[in-house]
Structure 1
Amino acid sequence: MEITIDIEDTVPLYAQLVTQIKQAVMDGAIAPGDPLPSIRQLANDLEMNNKTVAKAYQLLERDSVIQTKGYRGTYIHPDARANSMVDVNDLVVATLEKAITTLRNAGATDSEIRIAFANILNNKTA
């Protein structure tokens, strides 16, 4: 698997990494159980910050595309192929768009929606 990061691209570096790993899984370039480089090694290979690679790995683990086995390393998840087709960000955007449309149709202002959203995120619901 070869990863190419374009620093001129408007897509964040971590998102490029996530996309390329998911694509490699879907293409069969990497298979369930295959090891991935450590965060430090991949960051060094790609000349990226460790935190950028760590963020990508965190998102991939959240989506069950990879799994970390403590000090034994990071591996492709057994269900990675199916899980690579799910984009949680798309789900979040679609769900919020639907909720905002429903609230606007009910007469809520954008300001009321923003305040309620912030309160919910900060666990300050009335």
Structure 2
Amino acid sequence: MFFSIETSGDIPIYEQIVRQVKLAVADGVLSGGQMLPSVRQLAADLAINSNTIARAYQELQNDRVLEPLRGRGMVVRRDALARCTKARNTLVADGVRRALADAIAGGMTRDELRELFEAELAKQEKQTAPLHAGDDSCD
């Protein structure tokens, strides 16, 4: 699994990892029973403190997304999909709420918002189309 960490952002690194794992489960990139890299391996790969990875894994375990396999590491729980899908939807809804509040406070009209939304949606679909090419799970 590939993580994209923003070290200078407002979101703590451990929270970025938690979000990315939940989004990957919701999207089907990670599935139930799949192993995650060890704390040491992921810390080395991302060049961040292993305590940060351990904190993210602990939160994911508390959220019932991951479970430990004795002597092997962390694995995605087989029943994590629904929780991760709900978390993804909440995360996206929060972002939309914030963006709408900013847009309305800035005086944007409904028509301007719709136009912007449709343009951005088309742009995102075009950018992600190659990632899902040949993926018939969305049909």
Rounded Cα–Cα distance in structure 2 between residues aligned with 1:73 and 1:15: 20
Instruction: State the partner residue of 1:57.
Output: 57
Q: Note if contact 2:22-2:87 (Cα within 8 Å) is conserved in structure 1.
A: no
Quote the offset at 1:86 in angstroms. 4.3
Rounded Cα–Cα distance in structure 2 between residues aligned with 1:54 and 1:27: 23
Q: Aligned runs of 1:77-92 on 2, under 5 Å?
A: 77-84=77-84, 85-86=86-87
Question: How large is the Cα RMSD of the aligned pairs?
Answer: 1.6
Instruction: State the partner residue of 1:112.
Output: none
Counterpart secondary structure, 2:42:
helix
Q: How many residues align?
A: 88
Q: Note if contact 2:65-2:83 (Cα within 8 Å) is conserved in structure 1.
A: yes
Rounded Cα–Cα distance in structure 2 between residues aligned with 1:80 and 1:2: 19
TM-score when normalising by structure 1: 0.66
Letter matched to residue 23 of structure 1? L
Gaps of 5+ in 1: 91-126
Counterpart secondary structure, 2:71:
helix
Larger relative helix fraction: 2
Q: Aligned runs of 1:1-126 on 2, under 5 Å?
A: 1-84=1-84, 85-86=86-87
Rounded Cα–Cα distance in structure 1 between residues aligned with 2:14 and 2:72: 23
Instruction: State the partner residue of 2:113.
Output: none
Q: Which has the larger radius of gyration?
A: 1
Rounded Cα–Cα distance in structure 1 between residues aligned with 2:17 and 2:73: 18
Deviations 1:16-68 (A, max 9, x none): 00000000000000110001010110111011100000000000000110111
TM-score when normalising by structure 2: 0.60
State percent identity of aligned pairs. Answer: 41
Instruction: State the partner residue of 2:127.
Output: none
Letter matched to residue 45 of structure 2? D
Letter matched to residue 66 of structure 1? L
